[in-house]
Amino acid sequence: MAHYAIGDVHGCCGALQKLLRRIHFHPARDRLWFTGDLVNRGPRSADTVRLVMDLGDAADCVLGNHDFHLLAVTEGAISRQPLDTFDDILSAADGDAITDWLRRRPLAVTNAAADTILVHAGVHRDWSAADVMRHALEVETALRGGGFQALMHNLYGNDPVQWRENLSGFARLRLIINILTRMRYCTADGAMDFTCKAAPGNGDLGVRNGGGDSGNGDGTPGNGGTDNETGGLVPWFRTPGRRTRDRRVVFGHWASLGLYRGDNVLGIDTGYCWDGALTAVRLDAPGEVVQVEA
Ligand SMILES: [Mn+2]
């Protein structure tokens, strides 16, 4: 048995098939975790979802922001955007089966040992591992219930940006969804920022170095020395006092971050659909990284 995590596929089904051959994946023996965003941007969203659906219990896949976007489009909550490339799902005979399957995906997955957590984007500083699963379940329950359509109509928006346990209603669900599927940069106390476009890895945060040289190591904003670029923001996994720092958090979503291993997290969206690579990382044996280049 081998357990691999695979980054954002974004409709690049051919690359996924190639990657599965390269890791000698066998569904009866091996296990896959997908970081979500199976759809959009690439050419074959429908085939990608069908492939993962057919893997059954051999694969877990969390929802990403593009998967949510597709669900919102199919519910008429937002119109299809010019850059969207999931028309193959919208027009497919099995399109409803595909979107219904996506709607029933989780937002967070953990393993039996509970030492590793899979999400699309990130987790809040103040959430324990149990909190991550509990808040993901709140959204999963809403997605599967009669309030699904209303949730899709209340999905979009950046507010609120900071977690409070006493939030309720759609503001609470939207914030949980934004944390788990859209978050990149935060203030030191974990409030999300969606405006910072500075790509890490230009020396601004030193994150490509794996976190071993992060200044004073406490994640103090700006200790990389480029407040002018990041406005004193830090990647979510560097927020001081993050309660999941004793668990391995596997995530995608951040293609400009690239393959990232440090801070006890594993970022594996390497941007195949942006001329990067599709990445698989073995979780049950250290170190093995397999990539298909675009
Ligand atoms: Mn994403």
Tens digit of each residue's pLDDT (9 = 90 or more) over 250-267: 999 999 999 999 999 999
> How far apart are the CA of 79 and the centre of ligand 1, in A?
19
- Is-cis flag, bond preceding 160, omega within 30? yes
> How far apart are the CA of 123 and the centre of ligand 1, in A?
14
Class of domain 3-196+236-293: alpha beta
> How far apart are the CA of 81 and the centre of ligand 1, in A?
16
158 pLDDT band (50/70/90 cuts)?
very high
Instruction: Return the percentage of the chain with pLDDT > 90, whole number.
Output: 85
> How far apart are the CA of 254 and the centre of ligand 1, in A?
7
Q: Are 5 and 280 in contact (CB under 8 A)?
A: yes
Using a CB cutoff of 5 Å, list residues around ligand 1, an ion: 37, 64-65, 253
Q: How far apart are CA 175 and CA 218, in angstroms?
A: 26
pLDDT at residue 190 in the model: 96
> How far apart are the CA of 178 and the centre of ligand 1, in A?
10
Whole-prediction pTM: 0.91
- The rounded mean pLDDT for the chain is 90
Taking residues 42-66, report their average pLDDT: 98
**Can you give the residue ranges of every domain in the chain?**
3-196+236-293
- Note the pLDDT tens digit of each residue in 73-127: 999 999 999 999 999 999 999 999 999 999 999 999 999 988 999 999 999 999 9
Whether the CA torsion 258, 294, 109, 156 is positive or negative: it is positive
Q: Are 254 and 184 in contact (CB under 8 A)?
A: yes
Q: How far apart are CA 122 and CA 244, in angstroms?
A: 11
Taking residues 145-163, report their average pLDDT: 96
Q: How far apart are CA 268 and CA 7, in angstroms?
A: 5
> How far apart are the CA of 56 and the centre of ligand 1, in A?
23
Dihedral over alpha carbons 281, 49, 67, 197 (to 10 degrees): 40
66 pLDDT band (50/70/90 cuts)?
very high
201 pLDDT band (50/70/90 cuts)?
low
> How far apart are the CA of 226 and the centre of ligand 1, in A?
25
39 pLDDT band (50/70/90 cuts)?
very high
Q: How far apart are CA 53 and CA 56, in angstroms?
A: 6
